[in-house]
DNA sequence: GCTTGACCTGGAGCGCACTCCAGGCCCCAT
DNA sequence: ATGGGGCCTGGAGTGCGCTCCAGGTCAAGC
């Protein structure tokens, strides 16, 4: 099994699972995106299953361009306890709405770029036959 | 008319049209995203219709996250003349492909986030009725 | 006992895309 | 003639999100 169910995970395991560097992992912790992670007797980090789960969500949100500052706010809600679930939902739902907008925007721009492509293709089509004639 | 057909446009007009600052406009020129723009006798920039058109495309590509460096390469192709149209098409088509990928990625993450939202909604649904009983 | 490898810390550095600033010029309206 | 607006320049500064580094600790294997 690539990522077995266990009590604790090492930094290396977690970094590999989410394709993050150790530096980024520590950076996220410093920035308050994760709670202060447990340590082994020798001081090495030990990520619990719920750290890993939160990190999965963090990764998802970062990959969809949620800024670190908002992720920190979300993480603070998570730490504050179950009574913040409504607020968390709010954060996530707003993010989804922004994502809808962003996707629509990308699509619109993509259409505009396609028009430019079509225009260029037209230019090539107008020129290519002439080139064929010239070379024949 | 908001943006009349004219020989030249002022920096202010162009900035407003594309919702860019004058600083950004100058920055783009410095970075080679536009050719060296014409000047009035007093040294003020005068954007021609084709500057404006290219800027429109630049805006589109930037808004879809094409990095400045690649935009510069594209702008160099534009300046190099009509024989680069094939290369320009290549740049644009690759960008469209990346955009397809990016949109698919955003959608996938959005689905994952939706699962989290649904989970939270479930938690609220499990708790709310109990709260109602308690308060009645 | 020594090396290797995974990890630790605090802090500096980086790349990108702007963004801001001081000091100056020209032109037009009052 | 004076004041304001719009623009000019070169260069410094900003914010974000990492990323890198030096110097150190610890545990396991040869």
DSSP letter (8 states) at residue A7? S
Nearest 5°: the CA angle A84, A90, A93 is 140
Note whether B57 contacts A113, CB cutoff 8 Å.
Answer: yes
Q: pLDDT band at B125, cuts 50/70/90?
A: confident
Predicted confidence at residue A132, as pLDDT, reads 58
- Where are the domains positioned within chain B? 1-80
CB contacts of B60 in chain A (<8 Å) are: 109, 112-113
Q: pLDDT band at B12, cuts 50/70/90?
A: very high
Nucleic strand D under 7 Å from the C-beta of A21: yes
The pLDDT tens digits of the residues spanning A22-65 come to: 999 999 999 999 999 999 999 999 999 999 999 999 999 999 99
CATH number for the segment(s) A1-80: 1.10.1660.10
Q: pLDDT band at B135, cuts 50/70/90?
A: low
Which residues does A68 contact at the CB level (< 8 Å), separation at least 6? A31, A33, A62
CB contacts of A100 in chain B (<8 Å) are: 110
Which run of H or E residues covers position B77? helix B68-80
Predicted confidence at residue A134, as pLDDT, reads 59
Distance CA B136, CA B130 (A): 10
Comparing CB atoms, the residue among A85, A117, A124 nearest residue B93 is A117
Nearest 5°: the CA angle A7, A13, A15 is 125
User: Which residues 93-132 of A interface with strand D at a CB distance below 7 A?
Assistant: none
Distance CA A103, CA A87 (A): 24
């Amino acid at each position: 099994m690539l990522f077995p169910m266990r009590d604790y995970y090492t930094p290396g395991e977690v970094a590999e699972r989410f394709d993050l560097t150790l530096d980024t992992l520590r950076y996220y912790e410093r920035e308050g995106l994760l709670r202060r992670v447990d340590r082994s007797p020798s001081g090495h980090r030990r990520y619990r299953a719920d750290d890993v789960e939160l990190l999965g969500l963090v990764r998802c949100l970062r990959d969809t361009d949620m800024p670190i500052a908002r992720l920190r706010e979300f993480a603070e809600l998570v730490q504050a306890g179950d009574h913040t679930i409504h607020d968390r939902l709010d954060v996530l739902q707003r993010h989804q709405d922004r994502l809808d907008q962003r996707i629509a925007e990308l699509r619109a721009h993509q259409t505009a770029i396609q028009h430019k492509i079509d225009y260029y293709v037209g230019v090539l089509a107008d020129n290519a036959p002439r080139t064929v004639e010239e070379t024949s």
